[in-house]
Amino acid sequence: MSEFSLFFRAMLKERKDILLSILGGFLAGIAGVVLFSASGYLIAKTVFVPPLYTLILLTSLVKILGLVRAASRYGERLFSHRATFSLLSRLRTDFFARLVPLAPGILNRKRSGDLLARIVGDIESLQFYFLRVAYPPIIVVSVFLATVLFASFFSIWIALLLMLGMLITAFAVPAFVRIGQHKTDGRVRRQRAALSSETTELLYGFIDLKVYGRLQQCEQALLAASGELTEAQQSDALHLLRGQSLHSFVTFFVSWGVLVLGAFLIANGSMAGVFLAMLIMASMTVFDESAALATLPAYKRDSAFAANRLGETFAAAESNTDGKADSKPAAKLERDAAVSVELDNVHFRYAEDWRPVLSGVSLQFEAGSKTAIVGPSGSGKTSILELILKLHAPTEGRIVLNGTPIGELDAEDLWSRTNVVLQAGHFFRGTVRDNLLLEDDSRSEQELLNVLEQVNLPGKRLDDLILEKGENLSDGEKQRLAIARALLKSGRLWLLDEPTSSLDYVTERRVLEAMLERAKDDTLVMVCHRLAGLERMDQIVVVDRGVIVETGTYDQLMQIRGYFYEMKQIERQMIGSFDDAEA
Ligand SMILES: Nc1ncnc2c1ncn2[C@@H]1O[C@H](COP(=O)(O)OP(=O)(O)OP(=O)(O)O)[C@@H](O)[C@H]1O
Distance CA 121, CA 133 (A): 18
Determine if ligand 1 sits within 6 Å of the CB of residue 104: no
Query: What spacing in Å lies between the alpha carbon of 527 and ligand 1's midpoint?
Result: 13
Atom of ligand 1 nearest to the CA of 386: 18
Distance CA 93, CA 200 (A): 23
Query: What spacing in Å lies between the alpha carbon of 382 and ligand 1's midpoint?
Result: 7
DSSP 74: H
Using alpha carbons, select from 473, 503, 499 the residue that is nearest to residue 486: 499
Distance CA 56, CA 3 (A): 55
Q: In the prediction, which pLDDT does 325 show?
A: 45
Q: Do domains 5-318 and 341-426+489-582 have the same CATH topology?
A: no
Query: Average pLDDT, stretch 166-191?
Result: 77
Determine if ligand 1 sits within 6 Å of the CB of residue 380: yes
Whole-structure pTM over 0.90, yes or no?
no
Query: Average pLDDT, stretch 554-573?
Result: 88
Determine if ligand 1 sits within 6 Å of the CB of residue 243: no
Higher per-residue pLDDT: 541 or 304: 541
Q: In the prediction, which pLDDT does 107 show?
A: 61
Pocket test for ligand 1, best of 106, 354, 379, 525 (most atoms within 8 A of CB): 379
Query: Average pLDDT, stretch 134-154?
Result: 90
Query: What spacing in Å lies between the alpha carbon of 469 and ligand 1's midpoint?
Result: 22
- Are the C-beta atoms of 255 and 281 separated by less than 8 Å? no
Q: In the prediction, which pLDDT does 383 show?
A: 94
282 pLDDT higher than 60: yes
- Are the C-beta atoms of 480 and 434 separated by less than 8 Å? no
DSSP 344: E
Query: Average pLDDT, stretch 231-243?
Result: 83
Query: What spacing in Å lies between the alpha carbon of 387 and ligand 1's midpoint?
Result: 12
DSSP tally for the chain: helices H, then strands E: 22, 12
CATH class of the 341-426+489-582 domain in this structure? alpha beta
The residue type found at 235 is: S
The mean of the pLDDT values for the chain is 84
Higher per-residue pLDDT: 520 or 424: 520
Q: Which residues of 312-347 are buried (b: 16+ CB within 10 A; e: fewer)?
A: ebbebbbebbbeebeeebeebbeeeebbbbbbeebe
| Domain ranges for the chain | 5-318, 341-426+489-582
Higher per-residue pLDDT: 520 or 315: 520
How sure is the predictor about 124, in pLDDT bands with cuts at 50, 70 and 90?
confident
522 pLDDT higher than 90: yes
Using alpha carbons, select from 351, 349, 244, 338 the residue that is nearest to residue 291: 244
Query: Average pLDDT, stretch 508-525?
Result: 90
The residue type found at 90 is: R
Specify the residue with its C-alpha closest to ligand 1, atom 16.
380
How sure is the predictor about 269, in pLDDT bands with cuts at 50, 70 and 90?
confident
Specify the residue with its C-alpha closest to ligand 1, atom 6.
350
Pocket test for ligand 1, best of 112, 355, 382, 547 (most atoms within 8 A of CB): 382
Distance CA 55, CA 62 (A): 10
Determine if ligand 1 sits within 6 Å of the CB of residue 320: no
Provide CB contacts within 8 A for 429, sequence distance 6+. Answer: 465, 466, 467, 468
- Are the C-beta atoms of 108 and 53 separated by less than 8 Å? no
Task: Report H helices in 47-186.
Answer: 52-109, 112-117, 123-128, 136-152, 156-167, 173-181
Q: In the prediction, which pLDDT does 440 show?
A: 66
Provide CB contacts within 8 A for 434, sequence distance 6+. Answer: 428, 466
Using alpha carbons, select from 99, 301, 118 the residue that is nearest to residue 192: 118
DSSP helix, strand, coil percent of the chain (3-state; round to 5): 65, 10, 25
Determine if ligand 1 sits within 6 Å of the CB of residue 357: yes
The residue type found at 425 is: G
Higher per-residue pLDDT: 328 or 132: 132
Q: In the prediction, which pLDDT does 343 show?
A: 95
Higher per-residue pLDDT: 189 or 515: 515
Stretch (H or E) spanning 382 = helix 381-388
How sure is the predictor about 324, in pLDDT bands with cuts at 50, 70 and 90?
very low
How sure is the predictor about 69, in pLDDT bands with cuts at 50, 70 and 90?
very high
Q: In the prediction, which pLDDT does 25 show?
A: 92
Q: Provide the Cα torsion 247, 252, 258, 264; round to 10°.
A: -140
Q: In the prediction, which pLDDT does 106 show?
A: 58
Write down the CATH number for the domain with range 5-318.
Answer: 1.20.1560.10
DSSP for 449-462 reads HHHHHHTT-TT--T
pLDDT single digits (tens) 5-48: 767 777 888 889 999 999 999 999 999 999 999 999 988 888 88
Q: In the prediction, which pLDDT does 570 show?
A: 86
Q: In the prediction, which pLDDT does 84 show?
A: 87
Distance CA 260, CA 250 (A): 15
Strands 547-552 and 404-405 turn out to be unpaired
Q: In the prediction, which pLDDT does 416 show?
A: 85
Higher per-residue pLDDT: 33 or 214: 33
Specify the residue with its C-alpha closest to ligand 1, atom 29.
378
Distances (CA, A) of 212 to 209, 218, 475: 5, 11, 22
Determine if ligand 1 sits within 6 Å of the CB of residue 383: yes
Determine if ligand 1 sits within 6 Å of the CB of residue 359: no
Q: Which residues of 474-502 are buried (b: 16+ CB within 10 A; e: fewer)?
A: eebbbbbbbbbbbbbbebbbbbbbbbbee
Q: Phi/psi class of residue 514: alpha, beta or left (left: φ > 0; alpha: ψ in -120 to 50)?
A: alpha
Lowest mean pLDDT among 300-309, 349-358, 529-538: 300-309
The dihedral of CA 431, 433, 439, 442: what is its sign? negative
Q: In the prediction, which pLDDT does 340 show?
A: 93
Most confident stretch, 86-95, 237-246, 269-278: 269-278
